[in-house]
Chain A
Amino acid sequence: MSNANNTLLRYCLTLAGVAVIAAILVAVVHRATQQGIADQQQDNERQALNQVLPATLHDNDLLTTRFTLGPDTQGYEQLPLLGLSAGRKGYIALRNDAVSGIVLPLEATGYGGPIVLLIGIAADGKITGVRVQQHAETPGLGDSIDIHVSPWITVFDHRNLDDTPEPLWHVKQDGGDFDQFTGATITPRAVVGAVYNALQFFELNKDKLLKQPANKEPR
């Protein structure tokens, strides 16, 4: 009886010993890589922002003027227009201490699930850039919304609600102004709709969005 107990104890000790060593190893690696991963994430964030909002438009570090937008955020008109399913970051561009533009997070519902997008809008309501950050669209068909695959997404650059009125904010098949892809209409239709909604959201909340720099987020 005591023999069996001894064996059991030995097993437990071996397992516990290995588990402790494993935990220490993971902890050490985590500590060693923490800073590097944070740097990489910031780099990625800056690169993504740079693509939707040209560096000439702002003289501040966009990461210091972040604010959170989520499905439950209060104080905005028609927040569902952005289609957000989780809290994401928006960014305020400043030039000479005045708001010169804004980057908004938005989501579209594509063929393969949500399409996660960022849109940059200058203070005068013109789009400065749209980029897809995450999507699960069919490779070779719907993935042309990705800048790495096709330049299609740049069709939105410089447009605003005045030079492109509502009837044109559709893919060509629906009588609009934007190309669809061969074999894939659902994806570009979703993106065009989401971008139009984001512009509407900007228009509705212009006053609030353009004087937001007060609530800076500590870095």
Chain B
Amino acid sequence: MSNSLPHDTTSGVLWRRNPALVQLLGLSPLLAVTTSVVTALGLGLATLAVFTAASVTISLLHRRLNDALRLPLILLVNATFATCIGLMLQVWSLHLYQALGLYVPLIAANSLLLVHVDSIASERPLLTATAAGLLTGFGYLLVLLVFGALRELLGTGAVFANMEQLLPFAASWKLQIFTAESPFLLVLLPPGAFLLLGFLVALKNVIDRQLARPVANETSMPGGKRVRVTGKI
């Protein structure tokens, strides 16, 4: 499996193989709870913590892993850490835990986590596995945050509302950017989240193409003719 991950660099994990935007994994919580920055950050941090802890554990267990034990062990480890993080989150902020609802225990079954832990953590030494777990979780957290901020901004005209639920000192962080007579509701509802995801993926592709252009210019001519793309040239 590791040969599907040739360049395990920071930019590779955060951008080129961004878990949510490129691999399109772990979308259900992404679309469901990112209606504000505070819920996105809460779920992102919880996922990040479970990711890292599970990566470390599976990396430590890797000598005992085999095809028969892999899935049950990984699920067991994920569920354990998801439960623990859920309990700790309740002490930290019961309000936030209630707002995230089912999606905290569901971290255990996050498809991104399963794929990541299975492909990376189970075949690498401890340090690399830890770093990879942190990075993948962080890449996921970033997308959650962008989603939360965009949806909160477009849907309510403000960002960082209710931040004190996560950070007790952040009670006055709310920034009212604009006030609209009728807020842009669609972005707060699941269909709007899908549309937004489409736009973000498209935006990323445009940026990638822009970055790749200098190379492309040398081989393509303006008003170029049809080029044979199959078979031998």
Contact = CB atoms under 8 A, between A and B. Distances in A.
A22 B79 CA distance: 9
Q: How many interface residues does chain B have, given as a range?
A: 20 to 34
B91 A140 contact: no
Interface stretch (A30-38, A68-76, A85-93): A30-38
B146 interface: no
The 7 A-B residue pairs with the shortest CB-CB distance in the complex, in nearest-first order: A36-B91, A22-B80, A40-B94, A140-B185, A139-B188, A29-B84, A33-B87
Given A44-B95, A140-B155, A14 B90 contact: no
A18 B60 CA distance: 12
28 contacts: A11-B68, A11-B69, A14-B73, A15-B72, A18-B77, A25-B84, A26-B80, A29-B88, A30-B87, A33-B87, A33-B90, A33-B91, A36-B90, A37-B91, A40-B94, A43-B94, A44-B94, A138-B185, A138-B189, A139-B35, A139-B185, A139-B188, A139-B189, A140-B182, A140-B185, A140-B188, A141-B185, A148-B162
A33 B80 contact: no
Contacts of A138: 185, 189
User: Interface of chain B, helix or strand or loop or mixed?
Assistant: helix
Interface of B: 35, 61, 64, 68-69, 72-73, 76-77, 79-80, 83-84, 87-88, 90-91, 93-95, 155-156, 162, 182-183, 185, 188-189
A29 B76 contact: no
Interface string A146-190: 001000000000000000000000000000000000110000000
A22 B76 contact: yes
A69 B116 CA distance: 48
A183 to B, nearest CB: 8
B91 A19 contact: no
Interface residues of A, number: 24
A150 to B, nearest CB: 12
Contacts of A40: 90-91, 93-94
A139 B155 contact: yes
Interface of A: 11, 14-15, 18-19, 22, 25-26, 29-30, 33, 36-37, 40-41, 43-44, 138-141, 148, 182-183
A29 B87 CA distance: 7
Contact of B76 (A19, A139, A148): A19
A161 to B, nearest CB: 34
A18 B185 contact: no
Nearest to B79: A22
Contacts of B84: 25-26, 29
User: Interface of chain A, helix or strand or loop or mixed?
Assistant: helix
A41 B83 CA distance: 18
Contacts of B35: 139
B182 A41 contact: no
Given A37-B87, A138-B185, 6 more contacts: A15-B76, A22-B79, A26-B80, A43-B94, A44-B94, A139-B35
Nearest to B85: A29
A44 B61 CA distance: 41
Contacts of B76: 15, 18-19, 22
B218 to A, nearest CB: 50
Contact of A140 (B69, B80, B93, B183): B183
A182 B93 CA distance: 33
A40 B22 CA distance: 39
A33 B188 contact: no
Nearest to B188: A139
B94 A15 contact: no
